[in-house]
Structure 1
Amino acid sequence: MKHFTKGFLFGVVATASAVAGAVFSFKKKVVQPIEEQEERFEENRKRANRKSHSAHHV
């Protein structure tokens, strides 16, 4: 019974670490590039808005 408990606990830890690795990898490969792209769009929108106001202010 002692070997079963050790094996079971090792399996639980290994599975949890695999799931955590998959989530981290998904975030790095999919979520982060989308967030960076949205930040660039937001910055470009702000810059264009400032430029538009500046051009019409003169």
Structure 2
Amino acid sequence: MKHFTKGFLFGVIATASAVAGAVFSFKKKVVEPIEDQEARFEENRKRANRKSHAAHHN
């Protein structure tokens, strides 16, 4: 029973760490580039809006 408990706990820890690594990797490879792209689009939209307002007020 002692070996089973050690093996079970090791398996649970290994599985949890593998899942955490997969989630972290997914976030780095998929989520962050999308968020960066959205931030660039938002900044460009703001810049274009300011430029448009400046062109019409002078």
Asked whether the two chains share a fold, i.e. TM above 0.5, the reply is yes
Q: What is the rounded CA distance, in whole Å, between the counterparts of 1:9 and 1:32 in structure 2?
A: 33
Q: Distance in 1 between matches of 2:36 and 2:50?
A: 21
Structure 2: stretches of 5+ with no match in the other structure: none
1:52 aligns with 2:52: yes
4+ long deviations beyond 4 Å: none
Asked if 1:32 corresponds to 2:32, the answer is yes
| Residue 43 (1) aligns with residue 47 (2) | no
So what's the TM-score if we normalise by structure 2? Answer: 0.99
1:3 paired residue number: 3
Structure 1 stretches of 5 or more lacking a match?
A: none
State, as a whole percentage, how many aligned pairs show the same letter.
90
CA RMSD of aligned residues (A): 0.2
